[in-house]
Amino acid sequence: MEYLHFTDKLYEYSSWRTQLIQNIELYREWRKRYGLDDTNSIHIIEHILQNLSQDRITLAFVAEFSRGKTELINALFFAETGVRLLPSSPGRTTMCPAEIFCDETGGSYIRLIEIETRNENTPFVQLKQDVDRWTQIDLDCDNPGQMQTAFQELIAVKRVPCATAVELGLFDEKEAAEQGIINPETVEIPRWRHALISFPHPLLKAGLGILDTPGLNALGSEPELTLSMLPSAQAIVFVLAADTGVTKSDLNMWNDHVCRATNRAKQGLAIVMNKIDAMWDELDFGGYEQSIQSQIRGSAETLGISERLIFPVSAKQALLAKIKNNTKLLELSKISVLESYLSDDIINQRQKIMLDVVLRDVGFLIKESFVLTEIKFEKSAKLLVDSRKLNFENHDKLAEMTRNAELSQQAYYKNIEHFQSSSEIFRFKLKALIESLSIARFDQVIKLNKQEIDSSITTFVMKNGIKKLFTDLHDLLEDCVTKADAAQQFILKIHSEFDTEYGFKEIKPYLFEIKPYQDELEDILNKGEAYRSSTRLTMTEKSMGIQKLYTTLLFQARNVLFKARREATIWGENVMSPIKHQIIDHKNQIENRLNVLHAANESKEKLQENLRLQENEVAQLKKQLTELKVIIKTLEYSQGIHTNQLVSVNG
């Protein structure tokens, strides 16, 4: 059936990812087998393998209350359970954000954290790692009814004093007064702040992740949802109701959170116009279709997007159709068009992004390995050919060749001296770069700005303080740019010298770039400022939301600097390895040639013994190169990579 298209595509992507992991592991074992491991290659390969094994295609569902968002999730992914797995009955809506995934090691559970933790300044990502802070409900995956009952906790509420609700940012007295609610003694609030849900559903095991967010109130008071969780999703699905179109609260959510969270270059976006069944008219089907198209045009114009991104759907009828296996009703629900879009656009886009990362990082290592192994094989093969041509009887010729080899050895020692002095200069430049990225410098910038931010009375003053903080952090990275450029220019100079003066084969060095980290920091600031100026937060003074925004921004900025420092350190430790490998191989070639000549001067038997050693070495290098070619060909074939994207392999 057509609605399985998304399922099939996700399983296909999961198989593709598994094959990619296996290919990279083959290459890792090849490096280990031939003693080519170093800190840089180990880090890069392990990092890529970890990312691939933990990779999820996360779809974030965003909507105001009563748009049928949770029912849409049920219809898209969990219909085969035969029940409405996630609670989505009328008047009973998801009250806390929920992440749904498969935790292979942790088992099946719902973890819930108390709403009162919103008063803490601890970054939410740290709270997620502290399992003891969460209330856990175990799930029986063989009993959909038990799971259905357990999921009712997602809509749990409780009544608290009004002052407590205000303190938690869950009650706005001005908004309530406009609705005629004045000085209530108690207020109903969600019991839980966040839910983590794990169970081994086939789609979740294949790598699907779902982020189910409540309405505008939650997004407006949880900075990490807008600044981190939504932007990290591969696609955002924004749900509207067909019978109302884009309401004022929908538009606020769209402008303040969805638009500002998305990165259109790397992230998919779909607008679902749900509940089209409310417009069904069996007596005038043509008029019904015209009404839907009219709503699509109006919504596209209001949101400022293409009509092709809006998908009319009846999630309720789609879920019923899948449970009852009703093909006609499924067609009327129109959900298959949305599923095709999620399959063809979102999954394909994710696959391309992951492959680009692998080609950039592991691809560079493979190219380096291939070139260095090919150079070593070619030189060893040439030495063997030359050694076989030696005339054992021509002592004068042998003496002359020995003198030339000894001169080459002396030149090599000069190369070593130059390499060591160049390495010392580079270490000095690298040290300056690493120090410029130190956490101590970051903390000093924070300390200088923190007092002004903490003592600010109004949101406006705090906003300016945060902006100044990020200006100072940006200046810090500008200083890092200068030092990174100096280190990189020196590396390019050294490579050029050894390529031209010493006859080494050029291997373009992997360069460390600071600009992506600058861009990431700038993006954090821009999204933070957009969040701060959102409709909900501008209504209050120095609110809890602003305090949490400040904590979130600092945590993210510190993480950017930490990543930059770690990558710069690993890069600096290994960027000269291609030259180092060629120097070592060059030394071995000279010594091997001298050994052959000395053997030839001693006796014919000694020469024959030395030739056998060379033949074994050439055979071993040929085997090593052949194995690498097979790995490259397998990688290219299984991943659909063009040869010029990796390395040019002949034979």
pLDDT tens-digit readout, 392-422: 666 667 777 777 777 777 777 777 777 788 8
Lowest mean pLDDT among 239-253, 482-496, 527-541, 613-627: 527-541
Q: Is residue 360 one of the residues assigned to a domain?
A: no
Q: Is residue 550 one of the residues assigned to a domain?
A: yes
Q: Is residue 538 one of the residues assigned to a domain?
A: yes
Q: Is residue 506 one of the residues assigned to a domain?
A: yes
Q: How many CB atoms lie within 10 A of CB 194?
A: 25
Q: Is residue 441 one of the residues assigned to a domain?
A: yes
Among 582, 602, 622, give the residue marking a domain's end.
602
pLDDT tens column, 414-431: 777 777 888 888 888 888
Please provide the distance, in angstroms rounded to a whole number, between the alpha carbons at the two ends of the chain: 44
Domain membership of residue 170 as a residue range: 157-190
Radius of gyration of the chain (CA): 32
- Sign of the dihedral through C-alpha 594, 596, 601, 603: positive
Q: Give the DSSP letter string of 572-613.
A: HHHTTHHHHHHHHHHHHHHHHHHHHHHHHHH-HHHHHHHHHH
- Report how far residue 128's alpha carbon sits from residue 57's, in angstroms, rounded to the nearest whole number: 20
pTM of the predicted model, to two decimals? Answer: 0.77
HSE-CB of 80 using CA atoms within 13 angstroms: 9
Among 602, 626, 644, give the residue marking a domain's end.
602
The candidate with the shortest Cα–Cα distance to 624, out of 391, 445, 378, 430, is 378
| 592 pLDDT more than 80 | no
pLDDT band at 217 (very low <50, low <70, confident <90, very high): low
Q: Is residue 416 one of the residues assigned to a domain?
A: yes
> Domain tally for the chain?
2
Using CB atoms within 10 A of its CB, is residue 64 exposed (0-12), middle (13-18) or buried (19+)? buried
Among 144, 174, 190, give the residue marking a domain's end.
190
| 165 pLDDT more than 80 | yes
Q: Give the DSSP H or E segment for 291.
A: helix 285-303
pLDDT tens column, 23-57: 999 999 999 998 888 777 888 899 899 989 888 88
pLDDT tens column, 342-399: 888 888 888 888 888 888 888 888 988 898 888 889 888 888 888 777 766 666 677 7
The candidate with the shortest Cα–Cα distance to 305, out of 338, 269, 278, 341, is 269
Using CB atoms within 10 A of its CB, is residue 551 exposed (0-12), middle (13-18) or buried (19+)? middle
Order of strands across the sheet that contains 268-274? 135-138, 109-114, 192-198, 98-101, 208-212, 57-62, 235-241, 268-274, 310-312
In this structure, the strands spanning 235-241 and 57-62 are parallel
Q: Is residue 339 one of the residues assigned to a domain?
A: no
Q: Is residue 434 one of the residues assigned to a domain?
A: yes
CB 645 within 8 A of CB 25: no
CB 194 within 8 A of CB 310: no
